[in-house]
Structure 1
């Protein structure tokens, strides 16, 4: 979707008048093999509303499913919207039942769930919790029940962590394969900031690390691919700082570091030039590359890809994502035929006051350099609409194109039934990479449904985003660059990635 850092940097929610203090209470646990501890944290509070997180640690024997229960102290308190559990309330009594991906808790393992609620009068913290009917009091009386406290233990499998350099890749039929012909899935995250920091006075990486330690943190999640969004004006030296040769070197260094660590980099053209003055009021209309435009511009985008292709040609471990999220169909008043034609052919597209670079011209720019890297090409409607992708696929002399699809919970195609009818048929013809996915809350529910479906259909996927921006409206995976996962969204994705092998079984 449109760049999320700008949204996350603003107020965390509409209508928030005052941010309440964070209130945490740690409640120790009960008996023997059913011991547990709970930390209830009010993350934010405003007149009449609040959000809270509940962290659970199992101190007893391993369990395969859990239900947390507690009572609100005040009659005016209620749960409205929850994540990472099935939330129900009857009177003051609240229940949160585990989901398929977070129900198993070994001794010492932790998980968390959260919700947005309402309150009136006062918003006191609950003082008594139970897990599967046993009170959580923090001590374990049985000497065989395991330790009284431990660090979270994610579910792991024998899936290989990245070792050695990233594989050289190409498209074969509907699969991405290695140089030896073995199928390979791109499973990982987006590492945002190179697309905006250079034009916002924040340097190249928004003051975040891109060193070996930061890559090692990714490897603890079993991340095998990282999508790196770029800014064309910074790459070309037209605007921003750093720009030109300094910016290019910074990108090359990070891409090479990822490859050396066995992680596939996906270089993405994210922010581009072109004043979209006819856009809706919410749209950024700046002519410079400070936001997501409907289409790349003919003035700079082909030059950008010529430069990027020359920088990485000969290294087919690097994938090129030609343009982040096209939406020329909005500019043409949702005329899909005009939108698809603009996407492929560019030119003077309906509703765009600047000349657009079509995907065919970008393919041509890359291939003219001699680069043979895999190219990712998106669809319409912020690349969520893929229905005519095959009919308007650009011609590639290398026949080395994958489809780029994005899937967020607030998109038009955001259900398994839509994926079955619109995405699955395309996946039978061409590799599909979900270049971005996420939800509009901090839970893992939607993402769990999507990754499970994608696994069953052999799709690659990368979650937005590996940046510690605070998860208040979703799409933020980590609390810090050490890889500490955000509750719900980050914990769920990390646990899932740790079960995945990029080499799919037949």
Structure 2
């Protein structure tokens, strides 16, 4: 998608309700007896909820506050109302009556001294939603003291644990994982304006805030990833662009603020140079970077990625989306064979009067700097057709590439049948990031179906767009910069995000 203008400027911060309960537990076997050779430990359980009225997401953190690692944990607690488990992550969840039980999985059953393990689940309910008060681990009640020294019971209440920076990421098999190898999904939004404001004389961010308050507003939606579209000429400061060093610094400052706040950044090359004189009548034909072109140009695109990669080298919490929505096959009379060859190899492409940079050129430009960041590559037909993506995947010495798929309600691949036959096989081989998605009527029905399908297949996804433009035809999430959701699309996506955990495995 391409950007639009906005002139509202507000930002407020909000926070989810939280309760922190100190607890202690013994490593136990059936019947509550301590396991052989296992030492007692002190722990803390932090319980937070994101409530949307008829349901809520519960997020729990179990911290080992003792001086020794523990191996194996089972958490139990009870609700006082009709809260009903729907689905859970980062643990084996079950419910009997009002009692909820969560056990560790193979990869998070051990908790080092001072370490924390997180789990979460979605619940439905009606009436009241009081917080639980009977947390226990391995059969021992949370009493707030180390059982080896005292039996005094204490309960404390604090705010939620402080968030750390976004994790460094890499590709492992068909998953994006953290540096420690834990699967991680990019769940969030695109934040448009970096691609158009500079060239349209609207400053850097079209009047929208990029301060800490605006980032905190995103966090009230449980946003963990933000995609930032960029303009090639503005970054390079060429052809009379008012960008250059000031534009680069603005991008760095915003990206660094997001990362420090626990939000992964995806930098996207969105608008590029190159005259598309024989394009359809509806398409912008200006050679300057004032619109979306079929393919990036060889004149500036590799310079752009060399510069961006150099600027963010060493920060693997930043992901590079190499080109927004390729569509070179249209210039070649919808010849997909020619289109995929142009996509990968660039050069002189049928129907395009400028020399293009292929995906292999862009991968090489990034890696030539020594940058190890994860790369995202969109397919043909505005990144909606992914059928030949694997066959044309560029070579990467780090094998650190994910597929970027865009799927709007008006695209050709917009049904479960297409997703099952075209996207699921790709997702079995490489990570798939739904880099943009939305629908054209400001509703949420299509987006709900797609997000549910993506959750079931462990895909990442980023909705378009976090800009208060007024939702008259779709793809606008917020009414203002403090994150007030648009009816339908915004309310639906916010509720969905609040029930997600980027560390969840499906």
What is aligned with 1:90?
none
Deviation at 1:104?
A: 7.0
What is aligned with 2:167?
167
Deviation at 1:62?
A: 9.7
What is aligned with 2:387?
387
Deviation at 1:437?
A: 0.3
Q: Could you tell me how far apart the structure 1 residues matched to 2:421 and 2:467 are?
A: 33
Q: Could you tell me how far apart the structure 2 residues matched to 1:207 and 1:338 are?
A: 41
After superposition, the C-alpha distances for 1:359-412 in whole angstroms (9 at most, x for unaligned) are 000000000000000000110000000000000000001100000000100000
Q: Is the CA contact 2:228–2:267 (under 8 Å) kept in the aligned structure 1? A: yes
What is aligned with 1:76?
none
Superposition CA RMSD, Å: 2.4
Q: Could you tell me how far apart the structure 1 residues matched to 2:123 and 2:207 are?
A: 33
What is aligned with 1:355?
355
Q: Is the CA contact 2:233–2:241 (under 8 Å) kept in the aligned structure 1? A: no
What is aligned with 2:253?
253
What is aligned with 2:284?
284
What is aligned with 2:263?
263
Q: Could you tell me how far apart the structure 2 residues matched to 1:161 and 1:330 are?
A: 51
1:388-407 aligned within 5 A: 388-407=388-407
Deviation at 1:505?
A: 2.8
Q: Could you tell me how far apart the structure 2 residues matched to 1:190 and 1:452 are?
A: 19
Q: Is the CA contact 2:3–2:193 (under 8 Å) kept in the aligned structure 1? A: no
Q: Could you tell me how far apart the structure 2 residues matched to 1:259 and 1:504 are?
A: 20
Q: Could you tell me how far apart the structure 2 residues matched to 1:423 and 1:179 are?
A: 26
| 1:433 partner SS | strand
Deviation at 1:306?
A: 0.3
Q: Could you tell me how far apart the structure 2 residues matched to 1:409 and 1:416 are?
A: 12
Q: Could you tell me how far apart the structure 2 residues matched to 1:277 and 1:396 are?
A: 33
What is aligned with 1:337?
337
Q: Could you tell me how far apart the structure 2 residues matched to 1:279 and 1:105 are?
A: 55
After superposition, the C-alpha distances for 1:223-242 in whole angstroms (9 at most, x for unaligned) are 00000000000000014664
Q: Could you tell me how far apart the structure 1 residues matched to 2:494 and 2:342 are?
A: 38
Structure 2: runs of 5+ lacking an equivalent: 8-51, 55-80, 85-121, 130-159
TM-aligned CA distance change 1:289 to 1:430, over 3 Å = same
Q: Could you tell me how far apart the structure 1 residues matched to 2:323 and 2:458 are?
A: 23
1:13-412 aligned within 5 A: 163-239=163-239, 242-412=242-412
Deviation at 1:105?
A: 6.8
| 2:213 partner SS | helix
Q: Is the CA contact 1:191–1:226 (under 8 Å) kept in the aligned structure 2? A: yes
Q: Could you tell me how far apart the structure 2 residues matched to 1:162 and 1:305 are?
A: 34
Q: Could you tell me how far apart the structure 2 residues matched to 1:427 and 1:211 are?
A: 35
What is aligned with 2:4?
5
Q: Is the CA contact 1:189–1:223 (under 8 Å) kept in the aligned structure 2? A: yes
Q: Could you tell me how far apart the structure 2 residues matched to 1:311 and 1:363 are?
A: 16
TM-aligned CA distance change 1:106 to 1:348, over 3 Å = farther
What is aligned with 2:454?
454
Deviation at 1:5?
A: 2.1
| 1:440 partner SS | coil
Deviation at 1:504?
A: 1.6
Structure 1: runs of 5+ lacking an equivalent: 10-55, 65-100, 109-159
Deviation at 1:177?
A: 0.3
What is aligned with 1:149?
none
What is aligned with 1:85?
none
Q: Is the CA contact 1:161–1:219 (under 8 Å) kept in the aligned structure 2? A: no
What is aligned with 2:479?
479
Q: Is the CA contact 1:331–1:350 (under 8 Å) kept in the aligned structure 2? A: yes
TM-aligned CA distance change 1:447 to 1:106, over 3 Å = farther
| 2:266 partner SS | strand
| 1:369 partner SS | coil
1:398-437 aligned within 5 A: 398-437=398-437
Q: Could you tell me how far apart the structure 2 residues matched to 1:328 and 1:104 are?
A: 50
Q: Is the CA contact 1:363–1:396 (under 8 Å) kept in the aligned structure 2? A: yes
After superposition, the C-alpha distances for 1:24-51 in whole angstroms (9 at most, x for unaligned) are xxxxxxxxxxxxxxxxxxxxxxxxxxxx
Q: Is the CA contact 2:458–2:505 (under 8 Å) kept in the aligned structure 1? A: no
Q: Is the CA contact 1:200–1:240 (under 8 Å) kept in the aligned structure 2? A: no
TM-aligned CA distance change 1:174 to 1:162, over 3 Å = farther
